Amino acid sequence: MAEPRWLDEREMRAWNGFLAASALVNRRLDQQLKDEAGLSHPQYEILVRLAAAPGRELRMTELANGLLNSKSGLTYQVTQMEKAGLVRRRSCPSDVRGVFAVLTDAGSAKLEEAAPGHVAAVREVLVDVLTPEQLDALAEGLGEVGRRLRGQGA
Amino acid sequence: MAEPRWLDEREMRAWNGFLAASALVNRRLDQQLKDEAGLSHPQYEILVRLAAAPGRELRMTELANGLLNSKSGLTYQVTQMEKAGLVRRRSCPSDVRGVFAVLTDAGSAKLEEAAPGHVAAVREVLVDVLTPEQLDALAEGLGEVGRRLRGQGA
DNA sequence: AACCGGTGATTCAAATTCGAACAACCCGTG
DNA sequence: CACGGGTTGTTCGAATTTGAATCACCGGTT
């Protein structure tokens, strides 16, 4: 542990690039969503996941595990979105503790309104900047990174 | 704008992978740094940049532009780190408004203490997970992504 | 020398985040 | 049926982030 393997030139460039791109892309998309649709990036993610879920509803824990923040963070965001009418809470019949977050029609409409601009922004800042080979490398490499972190963390 | 080019399978995988990895890696490293060295990730970044700067000092604005948060966010972090003795403020002789953030000996020592564990974590979650080809693709692809966002944003 | 647009850093309030603590509840076991 | 460990979602307080507003100042112009 006293003398670790430092990062060589190539590794350093990859790491710095990842770090910078991560911060810049996230900030840019946050801003784009807020300007065009009045949504934060976390909120947009919630809408996407609910829209893709069967019955357009998910348990709070599933939603939080998907990819977000902590459970308490989700509680906060869902409360905000409920005030805005984008989602609704429904208690689970088979488990009194359980709560479903349900996508409302307004939430669905908001998503359809926001999606085109968001996709265009994703293309502009990331997807259309990369070559097909780089896209594959990202998908495979970072896919594996994500899988490991999910596995360990759980 | 009505019907944009949606993401195809490959693009979607790359995008989702990037998004997930970005969130998971950042969270993991934040935690690792906090546990092992009592530093937040932004604070660690500040130490690194100051250590690499000539004279171990940088103007606040340069530091903020480097890659971080907003200027006000930097003011906050530098204040915290100053309380902890890791950095010191020095006013610029040629411009009364200007402020240098200077790395102290304690800050330098803290960085040397934290770096090995941090590098090991970076290897574990990202660098050692990727093949050399994937590392190159990351460096080139995301490097370009970062360059464009910096250029536009400025 | 007074003026003026622009710059550097801080302050402020508001929003968001997290982790720990909490209360209520599920279920398999004795 | 009562018990105890593990789950579920929320609440709470503390830390952090952001953008707008602010204050003080630089430098070139008149």
A70-110 residue pLDDT tens:
999 999 999 999 999 999 999 999 999 999 999 999 999 99
Chain centroid offset of residue A70 CA = 13
pLDDT band at A1 (very low <50, low <70, confident <90, very high): low
What is the C-alpha separation between B149 and B142, in angstroms, rounded?
11
* Both structure tokens of B130: 């990727």
Inter-residue contact B146 to A24 (CB < 8 Å)? yes
Any B CB within 8 A of A117 CB: yes
- Give the count of Cβ contacts less than 8 A between chain A and B: 182
Instruction: Verify if strand D has an atom below 7 Å from the CB of B154.
Output: no
Count of beta carbons in the 10 Å neighbourhood of residue B75: 13
Task: Return the pLDDT at B69.
Answer: 82
Instruction: Verify if strand D has an atom below 7 Å from the CB of B97.
Output: yes
What is the C-alpha separation between B82 and B101, in angstroms, rounded?
9
Please write the tens of the pLDDT for every residue from A14-67.
999 999 999 999 999 999 999 999 999 999 999 999 999 999 999 999 999 887
Residue ranges with strand state E in chain A: 57-59, 87-91, 99-103
Any B CB within 8 A of A135 CB: yes
What is the C-alpha separation between A118 and A98, in angstroms, rounded?
32
Least Cα distance to A21 among A153, A133, A134, A152 occurs for A134
What is the three-class DSSP state of A38? coil
Q: Identify nearest nucleotide to residue B89 by CA to C1′ distance.
A: C9
Residue at minimum CA to C1' distance from nucleotide D12 = A72
pLDDT band at A2 (very low <50, low <70, confident <90, very high): low
Instruction: Verify if strand D has an atom below 7 Å from the CB of A23.
Output: no
User: In angstroms, what separates the C-alpha of B113 from chain A's closest C-alpha?
Assistant: 10
Residue at minimum CA to C1' distance from nucleotide C17 = A73
User: In angstroms, what separates the C-alpha of A89 from chain B's closest C-alpha?
Assistant: 26
Average pLDDT over residues A103-123: 96
Task: Return the pLDDT at B67.
Answer: 76
**Which residues numbered 55-114 in B keep a CB inside 8 Å of some CB on A?**
67-68
Q: Identify nearest nucleotide to residue A73 by CA to C1′ distance.
A: C17
Work out whether the CA dihedral B64, B68, B73, B77 comes out positive or negative. negative
Any A CB within 8 A of B20 CB: yes
Q: Which pTM value belongs to this model?
A: 0.91
Counting DSSP H helices and E strands in chain A, the numbers are: 6, 3
What is the three-class DSSP state of A32? helix
pLDDT band at A5 (very low <50, low <70, confident <90, very high): confident
Inter-residue contact A64 to A42 (CB < 8 Å)? no
Query: Cβ–Cβ of B10/A145 closer than 8 Å?
Result: no
What is the three-class DSSP state of B60? helix
Task: Return the pLDDT at B2.
Answer: 57
* Nucleotides of strand D lying closer than 7 angstroms to a protein CB: 7-13, 16-21, 24-27
Query: Cβ–Cβ of B135/A28 closer than 8 Å?
Result: no
Query: Cβ–Cβ of B13/A143 closer than 8 Å?
Result: yes
B45 dihedral zone (left: phi>0; alpha: psi -120 to 50; beta): alpha
Please give the average pLDDT of every successive group of 10 residues along chain B, which has 154 residues. Answer: 79 94 92 94 96 96 86 96 97 94 97 96 95 96 91 57
Inter-residue contact A151 to B24 (CB < 8 Å)? no
Max alpha carbon distance in chain A (Å)? 58
- The CA–C1' separation of B139 and D26, in angstroms, is 40
Selected residue with higher pLDDT from A13 and A2? A13
Q: What angle do CA B76, B82, B87 make, to 5 degrees?
A: 110
> Bridge partners of B102?
B57, B88
